[in-house]
Amino acid sequence: MSRKPVPAQAGDRSRIELVFDKPQTLAALFGQYDQNLVALENRLGVYITARGNRVQLEGSAEQVALARDVLHDLQARIGRGEEVDTGLVDASIAMAAEPVLDGIVRAETGAPRVAGISIRTRKKTILPRTPAQAAYMNALHSNDMIFALGPAGTGKTYVAVAQAVAQLITGSVQRLILSRPAVEAGERLGFLPGDMKEKVDPYLRPLYDALYDCLPAEQVERRIASGEIEVAPIAFMRGRTLADAFVILDEAQNTTVAQMKMFLTRFGQNSRMVVCGDPNQVDIPGGASASGLADAVRRLEGLEGIAMARFTSGDVVRHPIVGRIVEAYEGGEAGAGA
């Protein structure tokens, strides 16, 4: 592997060599056609040469040190059974570039960067991919009510569903309740055929997708049939007390103030509630009603037992282009409002 070096400022160049003691992991570490190393070069502006089990890094001292930490982190993740791809390279760069989060992220070179923060489900173990996700997962462990705010693709709902499944499996909650407002995203679908379940299921599909990613399909179906897992629109929550349950409200920006108050006051004993939404993507019909999510955050931020987890475009863990799209739209909206 040999490519043209990336220029660095005079006097700021550094060159180090890493020797990996587990050659059998190098194929996974480097990626097909060295795609992971290429991604690391492009993101950090360093020059990487790989020969056998030796990897030479060259570039600015700061970026070379960052690339070294990322490669050690990726090798540790491979050792834990994770599959490394360019998305995980981006996530590891984001984690390594942040200041150490006390109690969450370790500083030691070569050590796993996440200490004690993970979610285990029947199908996989989820580790945070960004510092904001690490803080979010920590909040899920230690707070009764969590508001997760930020753009699509940051893992707000997925991580919450994984935590809910983990707690259902261990028996710390007896039920898992997933809810969304049945609001179309800027279009009118008209009357849908079928019974009530068939009418509302299309709106709830993203929640089902997260469930099936964390539990085998037969377990999802069995637990839904037994009532352990319930997926329903927010209108079905009125008049209930949700005790011994992990409750998730997705797309919360599309609730009205009255709906949000109704939902939050369903909170019962031994329960945990996560409210996920993107304040910048409100699809309430007509735009006449204020978003219940923005109103709730304004009223409840700072109250004991309630945590706020905020994500930005830099926390997007889908394809990197999604983060750039979010930044472009947010920048355009800011400019239009100036």
DSSP bridge pairs for 306: 145
Residue 115 binned pLDDT confidence (cut-offs 50, 70, 90): very low
Query: Cα torsion at 196, 197, 203, 209 (round to 10°)?
Result: 180
23-32, 85-94, 171-180: least confidently modelled range: 85-94
Average pLDDT over residues 117-123: 76
Within 10 angstroms of residue 333's Cβ, the number of other Cβ atoms is 11
Closest C-alpha among 70, 52, 65 to residue 1? 52
Same domain, 131 and 190: yes
Q: What is the residue range of 44's domain? A: 13-97
* Residue from 313, 319, 315, 317 nearest 331 by CA: 313
Assess if residue 2 is contained within a domain: no
Joined together, the tokens standing for residue 140 give: 């899920």
pTM, two decimals, is: 0.66
Non-local (6+) Cβ contacts of 146 within 8 A are 136, 139, 140, 160, 272, 273, 274, 275, 306, 307, 308, 309
Specify whether 72 is located in the same domain as 142. Answer: no
Q: Span 141-166, mean pLDDT?
A: 91
pLDDT tens column, 51-75: 888 899 998 888 888 888 888 888 8
Whether the per-residue pLDDT at 326 is higher than 60: the answer is: yes
In a domain, residue 333? The reply is no
Last residue of a domain, one of 97, 127, 144: 97
Domain count, the chain: 2
In this prediction, residue 183 carries a pLDDT of: 59
Contact in structure between 250 and 149 (CB atoms under 8 Å): no
332, part of any domain? no
- For residue 26, give the CATH number of its domain: 3.30.1370.10
Q: What is the pLDDT of residues 121-152, one digit of tens each?
A: 777 777 788 888 888 998 998 899 999 999 88
| Residue 39 neighbours by CB under 8 Å, 6+ apart | 31, 86, 89, 90
pLDDT for 193 equals 55
195 found inside a domain: yes
